Amino acid sequence: MKFDAPAGINPIDRLKVVGKATDRIEGPLKVTGKAPYAYERHDVAKNQAYGYLLGSAIAKGKILRIDIDAAKAAPGVITIVTSENAGQLAKAKMIQNVAKLLAGPEVEHYHQSVALVVAETYEQARSASRLIKVDYEKAEGRFDLAEQIKQDAGKEPAPPPGGGPPPVYRTGDFDAAFAEAPVTLDATYSTPDHSHAMMEPHATIAAWDGDELTVWTSTQMVAWAVRDLSETLRIPPAKLRVISPYIGGGFGAKLRIRSDILFAALGARLARRPVKLALERAHIMNNTGHRAATVQRIRLGSTRDGKLTSIAHEGWSGNLPGGRPENSVAQTRLLYAAPHRFIALRKLDLDLPEGDSMRAPGEAPGLMALEIAMDEMAEKLGMDPVEFRVINDTMEDPEKPGRPFSHRALVECLRQGAKSFGWDKRQAKPGTVREGRWRIGLGVAAAFRNNLLRPSAARVRLDGKGIVTVETDMTDIGTGTYTIVAQTAAETMGVALDKVVVKLGDSSFPASAGSGGQWGAANSTAGVYAACMKLRGMLATKLGFDPAVADFSDGRIISGEHRILIGDVAGNAGLVAEDSIEYNDAISNDQQQSTFGSHFVEAAVDIATGETRVRRMLAVCSAGRILNPKAARSQMIGAMVMGVGGALMEACAVDKKQGFFVNHDLASYEVPVHADIPHQEVIFLDETDPRSTPMKAKGVGELGICGVSAAVANAIYNATGVRVRDYPITLEKLI
Ligand code: MOS
């Protein structure tokens, strides 16, 4: 189905099933242990052996020699994979990974995979890995972002990897406008490296059958996994099957294939039996990707009555040579009006583990800086921070005047939030509200994240009993995909929710948009809608009804006087329809599609210890139609928790001499626990965006984290009068 926006009235608009706060249909499986993760699939691939990965002990240099003799002779060891016996296949760089997954002879980052030990048990594999002797030749590495920024000073931003113009965007004359502005702000902010810290580690079971490979794994993007495995192992996609029905969190960590999947496949080939491999927690920090640290300089120039005339946002971040920068300036190109603008993104080479996407890559760290800057500027102007944002709202792309947003309700989000949160009780002067030993403050921030359109396919089967089975390779990373897909099929086919069976996460199903960039919900359901509409057409045609007129309700197809059970039309043989949603590029080119929101936070800071407690949180979202308010709220509050982590505790500690993240476990990489999080409120504006997809929905999975940390920082400032521009805001920065 080709989607030509805007969508007219369609079967989804009935909202009998879609739009309802429905419980997760796979929930009972999850809470009764019947939704196993990849590593727990003891029922597949008989005779599984265990893998254990050995990571490099140096961050940069060469492997001179690997001695595996002692390890090979250890009890239970079946085989050992290294760069010396993996052949050419494993040495290839995969298109989406920056570093090779297998080190040797060059080592590109700490804990880059050096060897896989395969043994009868996990303990035997781990124990044998300690007997591998690796001689390294260490080389000088670059591990200090601040140092690299210093050396880069005065240079022009480099072109992005793969070519193209350097990411510098100029509108009007920033320098002149900023020089003339009566009120200005020039401040620099920093955000640290973050780890996804998802619950389920990267894990895979790989089994070969001749030249055919099946992997049970944990991935957000089944089709990408097939493509990347096919390229790396040089086997045709048709000989590969990737299965990933249940996933314990992704946050961007599982967009691309990592060592678990490649080494399970290589190990299984050498061992001639299935191999299972999970990355240990330390390897998740140093062997895979993370959100790269940023430094951001923001300059704002304003008239005395608070109209921004000039905005500059420069972002710096590091990554391995060839890697992408963290796009911390993304939101600043679209969020506030100002005729004179200068936006630049700079990437420095670092030899730390690979920087990669993490929940709202770009906007999440970008808004951590921009939304403090807006708070600082409002204070300089003597304006309320909500009002200051409202008067600088724009209904068109600030870099391309005349190009509208498909829908934009930032002002409503701010106003509704202020009203619901009791913002009028905020004291503008910081440090003035006290309750016993606590100083109390309120903070606000805007939220912004783009809405991306991606093709997505699905297959729908209808059997003689009227059961609708949906098959798509779409994943549910804990987001509620099973449920919104079922709601979409039930609504479109006019059947009850319990008449729908949803099968996800299998490359033998049609390729979906996958779970990334908060595009999963809107695009994958649009693909299911397309397939269901095709099936409706087949049913109508079979009966000689006009598909444009036939209605589907109560398990029946209805046309004039006729009310016929759809199962009866399908008959014993059943009916199958497959289709995909496809978009005209013009939809995204002519109109800017984004999601908007506001975050309000009340924080209390202990006058003696500097301990911060978040007391209340509210988010208001403008994200098109909300397909399932319960699942969407769940996405929002989870993201808000992550934003509190970003504000107060999360940071990978960089060892600038040895070049690795020191706190590579969940004891020392701190994330919020239940006791850190207060009651959270979420309000969704009642709206649709007919230009997004036929579902008229957008995403919230990443919007939820955007701006939260700055709202916390601004609440802390309002409480204490201490402005911290360097995240996380730990207590020693407050006292
Ligand atoms: Mo997302 S960071 O594309 O999972």
Tens of pLDDT, residues 89-140: 555 665 667 888 999 999 999 999 999 999 999 999 999 999 999 999 999 9
Q: Which region, left, alpha or beta, applies to residue 659 given φ > 0 means left and ψ of -120 to 50 means alpha?
A: left
Alpha carbon nearest to ligand 1 atom 4, residue: 252
Buried b (16+ CB within 10 A) or exposed e, 280-294: beebbbbbbbbbbbb
Could you tell me if 115 and 129 are in contact, meaning their C-beta atoms sit under 8 angstroms apart? yes
CA-to-CA distance for 653 and 656, rounded, in angstroms?
Answer: 9
CA-to-CA distance for 385 and 373, rounded, in angstroms?
Answer: 11
pTM to 2 decimals? 0.97
**What mean pLDDT is predicted for residues 703-707?**
98
Which of 96, 195, 357 to mutate to test ligand 1, by most ligand atoms within 8 A of the CB atom? 357
pLDDT on residue 98: 83
**What mean pLDDT is predicted for residues 268-276?**
97
Q: How far is the CA of 356 from the centre of ligand 1 (A)?
A: 9
Tokens 């606000």 appear where? 444
Is 150-193+291-451+593-733 CATH 3.30.365.10? yes
Of 289, 353, 700, whose CA–CA distance to 517 is shortest? 700
pLDDT on residue 87: 73
Rounded (5°) CA angle 33-39-43: 70
Q: How far is the CA of 351 from the centre of ligand 1 (A)?
A: 23
**What mean pLDDT is predicted for residues 574-583?**
98
Q: How far is the CA of 625 from the centre of ligand 1 (A)?
A: 21
Model pLDDT for residues 153-206, shown as the tens digit of each residue: 988 888 887 788 889 999 999 999 999 999 999 999 999 999 999 999 999 999
pLDDT on residue 94: 58
Q: How far is the CA of 683 from the centre of ligand 1 (A)?
A: 23
Half-sphere exposure for 72 (CA within 13 Å, toward CB): 9
**What mean pLDDT is predicted for residues 357-362?**
98
Which of 359, 451, 452, 481 to mutate to test ligand 1, by most ligand atoms within 8 A of the CB atom? 359
Q: Active-site positions?
A: 702
User: Confidence class of residue 614 from pLDDT cuts 50, 70 and 90?
Assistant: very high
**Residue 392 pLDDT exceeds 80:** yes
Output helix, strand, coil percentages for the chain, rounded to the nearest 5: 30, 25, 45
Which of 702, 703, 706 to mutate to test ligand 1, by most ligand atoms within 8 A of the CB atom? 702
- Decide the pairing of beta strands 183-191 and 434-435: unpaired
In this structure, CATH architecture of domain 38-140+202-279: 2-Layer Sandwich (3.30)
Residue 187 exposed, middle or buried by CB count within 10 Å (0-12, 13-18, 19+): middle
**What mean pLDDT is predicted for residues 604-610?**
97
**What mean pLDDT is predicted for residues 567-578?**
98
Could you tell me if 81 and 116 are in contact, meaning their C-beta atoms sit under 8 angstroms apart? yes
Reading the block at residue 544, the tokens are: 């000689």
**What mean pLDDT is predicted for residues 475-502?**
98
Of 75, 84, 90, 156, whose CA–CA distance to 121 is shortest? 75
Could you tell me if 163 and 214 are in contact, meaning their C-beta atoms sit under 8 angstroms apart? no
CA-to-CA distance for 670 and 674, rounded, in angstroms?
Answer: 13
DSSP, collapsed to helix, strand or coil, labels residue 361 as coil
DSSP alpha helix (H) spans, 544-628: 566-570, 585-590
Which of 96, 254, 255 to mutate to test ligand 1, by most ligand atoms within 8 A of the CB atom? 255
Q: Which CATH code of 3.40.50.20, 3.60.60.10, 3.40.50.880, 3.30.365.10 fits the domain covering 2-35+453-587?
A: 3.30.365.10
Q: How far is the CA of 15 from the centre of ligand 1 (A)?
A: 29
Q: Contacts from 171-175 at CB under 8 Å and sequence distance 24+?
A: 171/339, 171/340, 171/341, 171/398, 171/399, 172/310, 172/339, 172/340, 172/341, 173/340, 174/310, 174/311, 174/312, 174/340, 174/341, 174/342, 175/342
**Residue 581 pLDDT exceeds 80:** yes
Of 307, 327, 357, 275, whose CA–CA distance to 80 is shortest? 275
Range list of β-strands (E), 493-636: 500-503, 551-553, 556-559, 562-565, 575-583, 594-606, 612-622
**Residue 310 pLDDT exceeds 80:** yes
**What mean pLDDT is predicted for residues 531-558?**
97
What percentage of the chain reaches a pLDDT higher than 70?
A: 99
Which atom from ligand 1 is nearest to the alpha carbon of 253? 4
User: Taking the CB of residue 558, how many other CB atoms lie within 10 A of it?
Assistant: 16
Could you tell me if 731 and 609 are in contact, meaning their C-beta atoms sit under 8 angstroms apart? yes
Which atom from ligand 1 is nearest to the alpha carbon of 251? 4
Half-sphere exposure for 348 (CA within 13 Å, toward CB): 25
H or E stretch at 630: helix 629-648
Query: For residue 366, what are the CA distances in angstroms to 59, 316, 401, 439, 675?
Result: 28, 11, 23, 28, 28
Could you tell me if 6 and 691 are in contact, meaning their C-beta atoms sit under 8 angstroms apart? yes
Q: How far is the CA of 613 from the centre of ligand 1 (A)?
A: 28
What single-letter amino acid sits at 673? V
pLDDT on residue 155: 87
CA-to-CA distance for 109 and 633, rounded, in angstroms?
Answer: 38
pLDDT on residue 99: 87
DSSP, collapsed to helix, strand or coil, labels residue 331 as helix
pLDDT on residue 93: 61
- Decide the pairing of beta strands 575-583 and 562-565: unpaired
Could you tell me if 699 and 451 are in contact, meaning their C-beta atoms sit under 8 angstroms apart? yes
Query: For residue 661, what are the CA distances in angstroms to 129, 293, 489?
Result: 21, 12, 45
Q: How far is the CA of 359 from the centre of ligand 1 (A)?
A: 5
**What mean pLDDT is predicted for residues 618-638?**
98
**What mean pLDDT is predicted for residues 46-70?**
97
**What mean pLDDT is predicted for residues 339-345?**
97
The ipTM (two decimal places) reads: 0.97
Q: Give residue ranges with CB within 6 A of ligand 1.
A: 220, 250-252, 255, 357-359, 361, 516-517
Q: How far is the CA of 432 from the centre of ligand 1 (A)?
A: 40
Which atom from ligand 1 is nearest to the alpha carbon of 254? 4
**Residue 463 pLDDT exceeds 80:** yes
Which atom from ligand 1 is nearest to the alpha carbon of 358? 2
What single-letter amino acid sits at 296? Q
* Residues of each domain in the chain carrying CATH 3.30.365.10: 2-35+453-587, 38-140+202-279, 150-193+291-451+593-733
Average pLDDT, rounded, for the chain: 96
Could you tell me if 647 and 728 are in contact, meaning their C-beta atoms sit under 8 angstroms apart? yes
**Residue 221 pLDDT exceeds 90:** yes
Q: What is the 3-state secondary structure (H, E, C) of 217-260?
A: ECCCCHHHHHHHHHHHHCCCHHHEEEECCCCCCCCCCCCCCCHH
pLDDT on residue 92: 61
Instruction: Give just the sign of the alpha carbon dihedral 713, 714, 719, 723.
Output: positive
Phi, psi of 152 (to 5 degrees): -85, -10
Of 567, 580, 570, whose CA–CA distance to 541 is shortest? 570
CA-to-CA distance for 622 and 619, rounded, in angstroms?
Answer: 10
CA-to-CA distance for 238 and 602, rounded, in angstroms?
Answer: 54
Model pLDDT for residues 671-703, shown as the tens digit of each residue: 999 999 999 999 999 999 999 999 999 999 999
Which atom from ligand 1 is nearest to the alpha carbon of 517? 3
**What mean pLDDT is predicted for residues 570-594?**
94
